[in-house]
Structures are given as C-alpha cells and as structure tokens.
Structure 1
Amino acid sequence: MASKVLLGLLATAGAALAANTCDTVKDTTSIQVNKRFSIDYTNEQQEYWSAACTNALKPSCILFPKSPAEVQAVVSILNTNNETFAVKSGGHNPNNYFASVDGGPLISTKHLNEVIFDKETETVRVGPGNRWEDVAKKLDGTGYSAVGGRIGNVGVGGYLLGGGLSFMSTEYGWAANSVVSYELVLANATMITVTAASHPDIYRALQGSGNAFGIVTAYVLKTYPQGDVWGGHYTFSATDENNKKLLAAVRDFTEYYPDEKAGVILTAETTVGGLLDIWILFVYYNGPEPPAGVFSNFTDVGPLLKDVKTQSYAKLLTGNNWAVLRGSVYTIGTETTPLPSQEHGAEIMGSYLESWRNVSSGVLPVTGLIASVAFQPMPKRLAAKARSMGGDLLDLDDAVDRIIFEYDYSYWIPSDTEKVDRAMQDTYTGLATRVAGFQGEGKLPADAYLPLFMNDGYFRQDYFGRLRPENAALARRVRDELDPQGLWATRTGGFKM
C-alpha cells in the first residue's frame, strides 16, 4: 500500500510543471505547506541559532514532510524547476544558505522525528527532525544512550552529517562512527538504505560530508549502556595567571588524557569593556562521579562558580542549553593545531590565545558582540577509536594529539556583518599562520595532518580541500555518481568540493 502511495505521489509530482515548488506541492500532494505570515512558518523561522537566518532570509514557503515518501515527492518536484532550496534539521548551522534560503522553498524535517529504541539490537532509529535532547529524553530510563551533541538544542541531522563531536567521543569516536545505516533520498527522488556492507563508498562519504549527496530521512545508531552521569560547568576569571594555568591544564589533559569516560570543552568569553572576561569549562564524566584527580588540573586553578552534579544524561544536555544565544547574529569558524609539547606548551598556547584576543579586540565595540574561543581536545585515543570503528571521511590518525578550535562571534545588528566577517577570517587565518610559524621553527610537527571540523566550519573555509586527497576524491566520486545533474551542488548551500 505504501509503495502505491509513493508511486502516486511521484507520478503526480513529476507531471506537474508549475512555476514554483510551493504551489506545485500544495496543488498536487497532501504535504503541509506554510507560507509567510502563517503561524507555523513564523515559528519555524524562529528555530535558528543565528538571527541572520531568521530575519534576513525568507523562504517562499516552508514544507513539512511527514514521511520519506513525502520527501521523495518534494525532491521530484524540485527536479521540474530551477529554484534554490534548503533542508533544515535543528537550525544550528549559522552559515547563511546552509540550512536557510531566501526566495526558495525550505524543507523542514521537523516532523521526521521518530526515536525508536531496539534493546535487542542495541540500536535506535532517529529522524533528522529531532534535537539531541529529544533523543536523550526518549532513551532516558532505558539504560542506554546515543553518541550525540553536547548541547541539547543541537539538531540531529546536520550534526551527524558533519561528523559530530561528543562528550563520549574518546569512548566511542565521532558520532558518525556509530551510524549503522542511513535512509537517503537521492537527487533523482529514489531512496536507498546505506550501510557499510551495502554501499561502502557512500557510507564512508556520508560520515563527514554534510548535505552533498541527498536528504537523510532516518539514521539507525548504535547505543551504549549508560546510567547517571556527572557534569556541568565551572567558571573562572580570566586573569593572566589563570590564563596560563588553564591553557596548561587543557594541554596536559589532551596529552595525558586521564580517563576515556571524561570530556571537557574549555572556552574563553569576552565582551566590550571587559564586562565579561571569563573562562567556562564544560565537564562530563560517564559515571555518577569522576575518580579523584581526573579534572584536578582545572579545578585546582580555583573556579569562581561551579554547577556540576550527578544527573541523567538527558538533564545534562538540557542543562547546557543556557549556552545558546537567541536573537543574535551568530558566526562559527574553526582551525586545528597539533598539540604542542610540554616544553613549548606555554609559549604556543599563549600565542594562540593572544592571536584570538588581538583580533577580537578590534570588533568588541560592535553592538552586542560576544567573542569566544573553545579549546576542544582531540587526543590520539579518539583518532584510534574512530579508526577502530571503521573510520570516517575526516580520517584522523593517531600520530599526534590535536586541539580543534571553535571560534564564535555573536552580535545584534546585521549591518555589522562585514566587520565581523573580516574578523572571523582574520581569527582562523591568524591561528593557521601561527601554527605554520611554529612548525617552521620545529616547535610543532611539520607533517601533521590538520583537517577542518565541518560542524564548526565557516562558509569561506575549504573543508574538502583540507581532507586527505584520497578521501576528497572519494567524496567527489560519490557526488558524481549520486547527483550527476548537480542538484545538491548548485541549488542549495553547504560546503562544496
């Protein structure tokens, strides 16, 4: 019966050659279509982290498919015209046009929100319209959890397609390493189920390629036994002495990673006039309490505030939602460094912080601006774990420890975008310049592989150009096979090859 419904939808959609997708979908299918000023349209437009996606970009309509068959029908209709479009999961990606569009249809996966746990296979089937707090809440009480976002409000779809860094990554690798299968709607409106056995090249390419190959309507994920966890955050003042101690702590934590069940994100935050100049350390431990000493390098610095406790994983993720800044224009960029040795650690880590502060100081007068940098440990054991679970497109080796930087600028007034755009470029290129300089001096390994982390990438950054050549070639080969007409490459946003 379902196949007959699908065939009917596709036949009707394929025969329709109306002027635009919105009207064709409305006239020929039962898919929910909402146009500007309707309640559902307005509500969905508010579900972006960046106000630029909300206020500056107005889709001609928002489509809310409720099944894979309806997604196929929409894609079939897109093939009858030349409209630009976008696909949206949680709206976390702040890059304009990646999950947002102006003047074309927006496909919201909001109603593709199933979370079906199978204890026998220890897997969970998850729709891309979920946020990670939704998944965690559904799994709460089962004794299992899925490798996912560190903030509950992050959407499932874009996160998994970008690789997905998790508090659990040193135990289980990138979130993408735990994907068992992808249900993928292709550019020709057909659907395939992708597994490592059935389509090995497509499967690997999907593990860190973004939206380059189609629309994923469901993921099947491995789950792992988990009870209560311990976590929250500490706040420190950004004095010169604390800066040195915290940078040393995150360097040492990365190299000597004390426990694979532990996770941290060390962030520095600053605003104009020094009204805010602090460090925030997000901490996680997969257990009711961490063993003594796991986080002592940080806590010995002396936090101003702490909010850490034993809780369910779902409550931890939801509790981290305070870090989401609503109503601001938001930008994210990234860079990667080999971990400096203890001998050169103070000089190099201090230089990285100085570089960020120098650039940030130039845009702090921008109205409402908050600048932040996150130091995200990428120890060798994470790379080794990812490879042991089958690998992924990023393909980190365990030759060196690394730190991945996330740079964030949020601000209020869109007219300041040009200033902030330049600052973001100066921020990540400034870091790359310093990395290259220390490599030239022999203070960092010169031959280290330093890719970019897609989930933190700025739209101007060359994600695919920083991959290993053989992996970039694999992605291009899969793209050419699955989308020879360039539907995803030319008519929607995302990182391009």
Structure 2
Amino acid sequence: MRLLTRSLLSISALATLAQCAPDVSLDVDVDVSLSTAHLDCCASLVAAGLGDRVVYPNDTNYIPLVDVHWSWVARLEPSCFVLPENAAEVSKVVTTLVGDNRYEKCQFAVRSGGHTLYAGAANIVNGVTVDLSKINAVTYHPENKTVSIYPGARWGKVYSTLDALGVNVAGGRAASVGTAGLMLGGGNSFYSARAGFVCDNVVNYEVVLANGRLIQANNKTNSDLFQALKGGSMNFGIVTRFDLMTLEGADLWGGVVTYPNSTADQQIDAIINFGNNIVNDQYGSAITIFLSASVSNTTTVVNAYDYTKPVVRPAAYNDFLAIPGNTSDSMRITNMTDLTIELEQAPGFRDTWLTGTFKPTKGWMQLALQQQAIMFDLLWEARPHGNFTVQTLFQPIPTIFSKHSVEKGGNVLGLDRFTDNLMLYQLYFAWHGEDQDDLFNGKGHDAFNTVVDYTKKHNLYTEFEYLDYADISQNPLKGYGSANVKKIKTVAKKYDPTGVFQTLVPGGFKISKVA
C-alpha cells in the first residue's frame, strides 16, 4: 500500500549547507550582492579541476537534477550544479567558492535528498547547488557494530544494506528520504523509544569546515561540535560521513491500518494512552494520521504501527486494535526496507507543513481535527484546480526519548527540559499550481494558528518545533531553549569564525537569525 501522505518522512532533508566568507559576527546581517558573479562561481569550479562535476542549464542532466526535489515548491533552478564524489572534492568546492582571493561573493546550497518542502532549503537561484548524491556509500563495520552512512545515501539504501546483514539502525521512516538532513535536524524514528532520536545514535561525524579543513567530531575530538550537530542543522559545516551505532535484528512487526473518520475520538484516546505508556514497552512506535482527500471528498484515519521486534499484535497496541471497523490492515512481520517503501508517496505536488509540540489533551487534538475539516471545506468551496489533500498527524514525544538522549551524551534539541510526555502535531497540505499558493497557505496558517492559540491559552503549549517538520515561517532553533541557542551560537562562531554558514545562505534555519 502507498500512502497519500508524505508527512511521515522524518526528514526534511534540510541540507542547506552554503558558504562564502565575509568577516562578520554571527549577530550581524550582511547584505550580499551577487550581480553576475554566480556565473563566475561556476566557472571557478571548472578552473579548479572540477569541470566534469559541474552541470550547467544547457546540459541534458540539468533538469533531472532540478526535479530531484520531492515538492514542486522546492524545484529551483541554480546557475549550475556541482556533484563532488568524495570528501576531498567537497573540500575543494568549498575552498574554491569561499577563497580569500574572490572579488565577488558566491552563494551556494548543499543537497542530500531534497525532501524539505520549502523553496531554498536545499537549492538556490543565482548560485551553485552542491549535490551530494554521488557520495552515497553505506558501509557496515562488524568489528564495532557501527555503520558509516554518507550524505548522498537515502534511507532505503541504508536499510537494504543492513537488512541483508541482520542488523538495523535508527533512521528515517520512508525509503526515499535523504539521510543527512534528517540526522542534522534530530530525526524521529521507529526506534526512538528505545534508542533516542536518530542523532543520538551518531558516534562520529566527518565534517568539511568553511575553510576546507576535514575534521572528525565525536565525544573525544571536537566534542562541542559533536553535540551541536545533533539537531543544530546547517550551521557549522558540510557533514560528509555519519557513523552510527547499529541495533541487533532486522525483522519487526509493522504496517498500516486504516479506519473511517467516525472513530476519531477513539483514535485520539488511543494515541494519547500509547504515548503515556510506551515507557513500559520501548519497542513500540505509532503515528495517527487524519487524511482528507479531494479525490474522494472524505477523511480517512491512517495509523502506522511499528514494533521493533518480530512480535505479532503486542499488548502496547491493544487500545488501537480494540477499535472496530478498520477498512484495511497490512500488518505483518517484515523488515525496514519493506516498511519504508510502504510509507512512500510519489512526488508532484506543492506542499507545506507546520508543526508544534504540546501537552497531549483531547481538547486541542479535537480542535485540530475540527480546524482540518473547516480548512478542507473552505478549500472545497473555493473550487481549486487539481487534487489536494489536508492532513493532521499526531506523534507521541514521551520523556523516554530525551532520557535516552541524555544517556548517550545529549543533543541540542532541548526536550530534556520538559517533564511531561508531549504530542507532536503536524498540519500538512498539498495542492497543484503556483497560482494557488496563497489560497492554501493562508487557510493552512489560519487553521494551525487557531490550535496554537488554544494550547497557549490552556497552558499546554511548548515552544519546541521539530526542525525536520518545520516550515520556513517557523523558528525551530529558538524552540531548543536559550541554553542550547547559546551553545549552538558559540560552536558556530568557533568552527566558522567568518560566518560563512550564516551570511551567504539564503535558506534554512540559521542560528544567527535567533535572537
């Protein structure tokens, strides 16, 4: 079964690593003038010996590279692409574009998988897009039970490699998602209740800094950078390799069960109880989706259950399984490759998602569904051209997630400061036609803000916004809390003292933008 939802993708491949090097403070906005210098930037890459890695708009493989992006919103056309094939070439790209002898400034973005929805996150107009897709190896090391994942790999390749070896890793939940963006934004996975966030399982990063140096970051070497990379996004350098601890066993019980929307109240009760009790069985994961589709003018409940042991119908899911009247059921013993293919959706829409994380109560969750219904009806009445969907997703974020994070040395997400189990809320909508952007985004923000206002009024709100699901209008780094904001700023200034990753990157979440 292929879901109509893309929102399960725990990734947002937020790979906007862009560099150029004015000598500025992180706290200063810099006006960057480009004129026609972006063309010189492409030519400089050719002159540096990277000519066979550069793709211009008149080359036959240019449009396929533009179309890599999952959302049509993100399909920008850069001045050129450059596709390095190893870390040394990434270093050469950086030093070429950020060289002290440049008389004009170069802008560029860096792309892993291209699954972030908004324009400019991993692509650029009037600049260079560094595409890491050729640096895509996945190598298992049995001597220490780690796996090296290179940034151009997608999670489907990771799982197919490891499934054959009988091991697994905490990672993305859809096969086509890029690896780098997911991990740099924290990363939620089927394994979070037993292993923490995906970033918590990284034991070493290989990083190209703004000056072209290639360094390692782990708990012994560059340990401050090591921790800051665990959720700190594209503020420090280009990660060219992630080394992660693996988990024993490849098989698990999982799949998708669908229900009519008439079961909504029971579904809310079940997902709240699941989140509150998963500490007692840390092998479980559940996501509840309410999907309204114009093609059928109906709303369907889509539940993704994934238990990370090969046990059929474990007790952790009793509340869900007791709900009568399901309309489909694909639950089976299988592997991550199979499950993450099931949670795929074909590209081709314009998309937005918005996210918040609140204390779980039936009140705001029912309100979220009411707002979804109102939004869908208003859009239906507007008679937009093409099919569209509106979806609400609920994912538990219990305290056991951050407890594991702390046990593994900590990250910068800041969830360990909360003492209550939380619920992640995501509003996702997809449509056709750039001419309809304002219509859909306007209705979507109205619905989302109504829910946020309710949680603030009833003391249920937290400022945490999961970066991998955040819209460009949001401020997820600020939601990490003041202590972590200060930590990220300090690390960014230390490893990128000239502000390369802050001042010449037109998109992505920049720590310099956080007050």
2:255 & 2:58 partners in 1: Cα distance? Answer: 39
Instruction: Write the mapping of 1:31-430 to structure 2, written as runs, cut at 5 A.
Output: 31-54=52-75, 57-79=76-98, 80=102, 81-239=104-262, 242-257=263-278, 259-272=281-294, 275-301=297-323, 302-321=325-344, 324-340=345-361, 345=362, 347-364=363-380, 365-367=383-385, 368-397=387-416, 399-430=419-450
2:397 & 2:439 partners in 1: Cα distance? Answer: 31
Contact 1:356-1:427 at 8 Å conserved across structures: yes
- SS across alignment from 1:211: coil
- SS across alignment from 1:151: coil
- The 3 A distance-change label for structure 1 pair 291 and 326 is closer
- SS across alignment from 1:39: coil
The corresponding residue for 2:15 is: none
- SS across alignment from 1:294: helix
- More displaced 10-residue stretch of structure 1: 312-321 or 113-122: 312-321
1:336 CA drift (Å): 0.8
1:369 CA drift (Å): 1.9
- More displaced 10-residue stretch of structure 1: 160-169 or 205-214: 205-214
Contact 1:338-1:450 at 8 Å conserved across structures: no
1:45 CA drift (Å): 1.7
2:38 & 2:300 partners in 1: Cα distance? Answer: 55
The corresponding residue for 1:494 is: 508
The corresponding residue for 1:4 is: none
- The 3 A distance-change label for structure 1 pair 400 and 417 is same
1:273 & 1:328 partners in 2: Cα distance? Answer: 14
- SS across alignment from 1:471: helix
RMSD: 1.8
- SS across alignment from 2:510: coil
1:194 CA drift (Å): 0.7
- SS across alignment from 2:330: strand
Which amino acid in the other structure matches residue 494 of structure 1? G
1:430 & 1:193 partners in 2: Cα distance? Answer: 45
- More displaced 10-residue stretch of structure 1: 225-234 or 422-431: 422-431
1:285 & 1:352 partners in 2: Cα distance? Answer: 27
- The 3 A distance-change label for structure 1 pair 19 and 287 is closer
1:405 & 1:418 partners in 2: Cα distance? Answer: 22
- Give me the identity figure in percent: 25
- The 3 A distance-change label for structure 1 pair 103 and 248 is same
- More displaced 10-residue stretch of structure 1: 355-364 or 399-408: 355-364
1:473 & 1:121 partners in 2: Cα distance? Answer: 34
- SS across alignment from 1:371: strand
| Residue from 424, 437, 453 that aligns with 1:433 | 453
- SS across alignment from 1:488: helix
Which amino acid in the other structure matches residue 211 of structure 1? M
2:212 & 2:411 partners in 1: Cα distance? Answer: 26
- More displaced 10-residue stretch of structure 1: 425-434 or 248-257: 425-434
Contact 1:61-1:106 at 8 Å conserved across structures: yes
1:19 CA drift (Å): 5.3
- The 3 A distance-change label for structure 1 pair 290 and 385 is farther
Which amino acid in the other structure matches residue 237 of structure 1? P
Q: Aligned pair 1:485/2:498, yes or no? A: yes
1:300 & 1:274 partners in 2: Cα distance? Answer: 27
- SS across alignment from 1:335: strand
2:411 & 2:126 partners in 1: Cα distance? Answer: 35
2:89 & 2:238 partners in 1: Cα distance? Answer: 12
1:390 & 1:363 partners in 2: Cα distance? Answer: 46
Contact 1:264-1:376 at 8 Å conserved across structures: yes
Contact 1:212-1:494 at 8 Å conserved across structures: no
After superposing on structure 2, the runs of 4+ consecutive aligned residues of structure 1 that deviate more than 6 Å are none
1:289 CA drift (Å): 2.3
- SS across alignment from 2:205: strand
1:249 CA drift (Å): 0.8
- More displaced 10-residue stretch of structure 1: 104-113 or 449-458: 449-458
Contact 1:335-1:431 at 8 Å conserved across structures: no
- SS across alignment from 1:434: helix
Contact 1:52-1:329 at 8 Å conserved across structures: yes
1:85 & 1:130 partners in 2: Cα distance? Answer: 21
2:500 & 2:160 partners in 1: Cα distance? Answer: 36
1:219 CA drift (Å): 0.6
1:190 CA drift (Å): 1.4
Which amino acid in the other structure matches residue 366 of structure 1? P
Contact 1:124-1:221 at 8 Å conserved across structures: yes
- Count residues with an aligned counterpart: 463
- SS across alignment from 1:20: helix
Structure 1 unaligned regions, length at least 5: 1-16
2:443 & 2:268 partners in 1: Cα distance? Answer: 23
Contact 1:22-1:61 at 8 Å conserved across structures: yes
Contact 2:44-2:97 at 8 Å conserved across structures: no
Contact 2:252-2:306 at 8 Å conserved across structures: yes
1:119 CA drift (Å): 0.8
1:273 CA drift (Å): 7.8
Contact 1:334-1:405 at 8 Å conserved across structures: yes
1:496 CA drift (Å): 2.1
Which amino acid in the other structure matches residue 378 of structure 2? G
1:449 & 1:211 partners in 2: Cα distance? Answer: 24
Contact 1:396-1:449 at 8 Å conserved across structures: no
Contact 1:183-1:194 at 8 Å conserved across structures: yes
Q: 1:101-143: per-residue Cα shift (whole Å, max 9, x none)? A: 1121110000111111001101011100010010011112212
